[in-house]
Chains A and B, each alone.
Chain A
Amino acid sequence: ETGVTQTPRHLVMGMTNKKSLKCEQHLGHNAMYWYKQSAKKPLELMFVYSLEERVENNSVPSRFSPECPNSSHLFLHLHTLQPEDSALYLCASSREGGWGNTGELFFGEGSRLTVL
């Protein structure tokens, strides 16, 4: 139990569906992240929110849309995805973001996404 909870753990969707991934952290952290993990690739940073403000968007396609309503919750809204978007999506949190980030991230268990 890392204090970061992701739902759903598994998701199968068609290319025309709209779905959302949810992340909640119970650690009182100020920064939250979405990472994509594909086979044989390093973890790819998608989005960073620090104090509910998006501070980084790593050239992610617009079919991925993040939302951070408060410092404890983070969503990733998905629409018209492609099969190559199938991957494990990991949420993480840290005490601080930006210049204050020490690199110590607390990850959730991930949401395994399959796009048909």
Chain B
Amino acid sequence: GQQLNQSPQSMFIQEGEDVSMNCTSSSIFNTWLWYKQDPGEGPVLLIALYKAGELTSNGRLTAQFGITRKDSFLNISASIPSDVGIYFCAAQGAQKLVFGQGTRLTINP
């Protein structure tokens, strides 16, 4: 079945550092999305990407839809304490939305 390989599984960084995470698959998708889940909350959509090669920013967040349609990355610049949480990639294929396993981000002040 369709699966997403998200890496890294966890990150421990200092406040102010940049963060990079990515998602890959052997399948082609029409849409790539990135969600963030704060402790005790449900996931919230951060960025949605609809075209291969598309690069989109949302504040300090930047994400790209890979040109092969099989991967995506998310970068966070100048991390702050409220960036802590679990980041999920997701990809929409034919009627099916697939989620990665998540990247848990921890920030040391």
Residues of B within 8 A of A103 (CB): 31, 33, 48, 90-92, 97
Q: CB < 8 Å: which of A42, A43, A99, A107 contacts B44?
A: A107
Residue B102 at the A interface, CB < 8 A? Answer: yes
Q: CB < 8 Å: which of A42, A90, A104, A108 contacts B45?
A: A104
Alpha-carbon distance A10/B109, docked complex (angstroms)? 31
Complex interface residues of chain B between 6 and 56 (CB less than 8 A to chain A): 31, 33, 35, 40-45, 48, 50
Residue B101 at the A interface, CB < 8 A? Answer: yes
* Interface contact A109-B42, CB-CB below 8 Å: yes
* Interface contact A43-B99, CB-CB below 8 Å: yes
Please, which residue of chain B has its CB at the minimum distance from the CB of A88? B42
Number of residue pairs A-B, CB distance < 8 angstroms: 54
Alpha-carbon distance A90/B45, docked complex (angstroms)? 14
* Interface contact B44-A101, CB-CB below 8 Å: no
Convert B79-109 into 0s and 1s, putting 1 for each residue whose CB lies closer than 8 angstroms to a CB of A: 0000000001011101101111110000000
Determine which residue in A6, A42, A106 has the highest number of CB atoms from chain B within 10 A of its CB, and name it. A42
Which A residues are within 8 Å of any B CB, using their own CB?
2, 4, 6, 40-43, 45, 90, 92, 98-99, 101-110
User: Which secondary structure characterizes the binding site on chain A?
Assistant: loop
How close is B9's CB to chain A, nearest CB, in angstroms?
8
Alpha-carbon distance A37/B35, docked complex (angstroms)? 14
Query: How many chain B residues have a CB neighbour from A under 8 Å?
Result: 24
How close is A84's CB to chain B, nearest CB, in angstroms?
19
Which B residues are within 8 Å of any A CB, using their own CB?
4, 31, 33, 35, 40-45, 48, 50, 88, 90-92, 94-95, 97-102
* Interface contact B102-A42, CB-CB below 8 Å: yes
Alpha-carbon distance A41/B94, docked complex (angstroms)? 22
How close is B24's CB to chain A, nearest CB, in angstroms?
14
How close is B7's CB to chain A, nearest CB, in angstroms?
13
How close is B40's CB to chain A, nearest CB, in angstroms?
7
Q: CB < 8 Å: which of A2, A6, A102, A106 contacts B92?
A: A102
